[in-house]
Amino acid sequence: MKDTLILAIESSCDETAASVVKNGRTILSNVISSQIALHTLYGGVVPEIASRKHIEKINQVIEQALADADVTLDDLDAIGVTYGPGLVGALLVGVAEAKAIAYAKKLPLVGVHHIEGHVSANYIEHPDLEPPFVCLVVSGGHSHLTRVNAYGDYTLLGQTVDDAAGEAFDKAARVLGLNYPGGPLLSKLAEGGDDTCLPLPHPHPDGRYDFSFSGLKTAFLNACHKMEQKGEALPRADLAASFERAVVDTLCERAMLALEESGLHTLCLAGGVSANRRLRAQMTALAAKRGFRLCMPDLWLCTDNAAMIGSAAYYRLRKGELAPLSLNAVPSLALV
Ligand code: KG4
Ligand code: ZN
């Protein structure tokens, strides 16, 4: 069978990324132009700056992705692009670019949900992985537990009722004086810290598989502010470790419940927070103890990239799910 080559574009937040993916599973190129250093100056992503930077970089990034894969636009079978959720101005840059290429080269256009992309990073990492499985998606904007019934077919089991896990990490990190994005920095600080220093609540929202991080975050912020008011030096590493433990325990507990009750034997992790060292170690230990298959993308595939979008696009293309040239960015696009 002839190979299917997809050029994928991702620009939903602060990375301008393009990738050429073969048959949904093999990365021929993966180019990421990160804006993190720029946004760090402001302590978070500035949407207007993100859009401008995407416009500046996107052609370069695509040219590089084609060159690295040693292909031209004429070799492609389709264009895949993230059209939501994300920052509208940022998304629009990728969507407009993808539509222009699809129109000019008469190629099919596939719109991809950003979170479906994160889930699909697992197909690249684990070539034999097939649905059904349970997937814990934890990123800066999402904390979802989903049952992946088939390619592109999801049942939402649970989600955060307030903050996303990554958002909670970033806010806690800020109190500890760490810059954006705080998650990885907080995790680094937590190494060697005493994770029992600060007892934190493990909230149980009504939904059986739902998460809540807002109460946990507030308890953490209050404890830090109280210490500061008393003039005490913050035991930063211990606080970071306690916070990380509380978030990871909650994620593991809910994921285990969902996996057990689903009757399935495979759990996948996806999204930026799945790069977290403690989450990966704790899940690995649980998998060994309980005998389920744990799949997680390599660290560089956990955070935003276009290869994962190319994988998701392949399975949409296979089902004939094409986007019209009127495709628009949808900042709050739902997964199911
Ligand atoms: O998936 P992602 O790259 O972008 C979104 O789609 O949101 O996720 C970014 C989020 C940020 O909140 C970042 O702090 C968090 O993932 N993150 C981490 C780690 N690496 C990234 N959180 C905790 N530990 C990490 N090692
Ligand atoms: Zn993401």
Q: What is the pLDDT of residues 195-218, one digit of tens each?
A: 999 999 888 888 999 999 999 999
**What's the pLDDT at 198?**
94
**Among protein residues, the one whose CA lies closest to atom 19 of ligand 1:** 184
**What's the pLDDT at 180?**
86
**Distance, CA 308 to ligand 2 centroid (Å)?**
10
- From the number of C-beta atoms within 10 Å of its C-beta (0-12, 13-18, 19+), residue 118 rates as buried
**What's the pLDDT at 13?**
94
Residues surrounding ion ligand 2 at CB below 5 Å: 139, 304
Strand order in 266-270's β-sheet?
153-159, 143-150, 133-138, 266-270, 293-295
**Distance, CA 272 to ligand 1 centroid (Å)?**
3
pLDDT above 90: residue 115: yes
Rounded to an integer, the average pLDDT of 78-99 is 98
pTM: 0.96
**What's the pLDDT at 1?**
82
- The C-alpha atoms of residue 120 and residue 268 are separated, in whole angstroms, by 10
**Distance, CA 302 to ligand 2 centroid (Å)?**
8
* Mutation to probe ligand 1, out of 82, 119, 139, 250 (largest number of atoms < 8 A from CB): 139
- The C-alpha atoms of residue 309 and residue 117 are separated, in whole angstroms, by 5
Question: If pLDDT is split at 50, 70 and 90, which confidence band does 173 have?
Answer: very high
Bridge pairing between strands 15-22 and 109-113:
unpaired
**What's the pLDDT at 41?**
87
Rounded to an integer, the average pLDDT of 225-251 is 96
- Pocket, ligand 1, Cβ cutoff 6 A: 13, 118, 139-141, 166, 169-170, 181-184, 187, 271-273, 275-276, 303-304
**Among protein residues, the one whose CA lies closest to atom 2 of ligand 1:** 272
* Mutation to probe ligand 1, out of 169, 217, 244, 300 (largest number of atoms < 8 A from CB): 169
Question: If pLDDT is split at 50, 70 and 90, which confidence band does 96 have?
Answer: very high
**Distance, CA 66 to ligand 2 centroid (Å)?**
23
Q: Which ligand is nearest to the CA of 139?
A: 1
Q: Tokens 């949409």 map to which residue?
A: 316
**What's the pLDDT at 206?**
87
Q: 160 has which bridge partners?
A: 211
**Among protein residues, the one whose CA lies closest to atom 21 of ligand 1:** 272
Rounded to an integer, the average pLDDT of 250-268 is 97
* DSSP 8-state secondary structure symbol assigned to residue 195: T
pLDDT above 90: residue 170: yes
Question: If pLDDT is split at 50, 70 and 90, which confidence band does 89 have?
Answer: very high
Q: Which ligand is nearest to the CA of 170?
A: 1
**Distance, CA 196 to ligand 2 centroid (Å)?**
31
**What's the pLDDT at 194?**
97
- The C-alpha atoms of residue 175 and residue 157 are separated, in whole angstroms, by 32
Q: Please, what is the average pLDDT of the chain?
A: 96
| Ligand 1 atom closest to 164 (CA) | 12
Rounded to an integer, the average pLDDT of 98-122 is 98
Could you tell me if 333 and 84 are in contact, meaning their C-beta atoms sit under 8 angstroms apart?
yes
- The CA-atom distances, in angstroms, between 215 and each of 168, 189, 331 are 10, 22, 26
User: Which range, of 40-49, 116-125, 145-154, 291-300, averages the lowest pLDDT?
Assistant: 40-49
**What's the pLDDT at 46?**
94
Amino acid sitting at position 246:
A
Rounded to an integer, the average pLDDT of 300-318 is 97
- From the number of C-beta atoms within 10 Å of its C-beta (0-12, 13-18, 19+), residue 288 rates as exposed
More confident residue, 149 or 192: 149
Please give the structure tokens belonging to residue 254.
């809910």
**What's the pLDDT at 43?**
86
- From the number of C-beta atoms within 10 Å of its C-beta (0-12, 13-18, 19+), residue 235 rates as middle
The separation between the first and the last C-alpha atoms of the chain, rounded to the nearest angstrom, is 32
More confident residue, 41 or 134: 134
Contacts of 199 (CB under 8 A, 6+ apart): 242
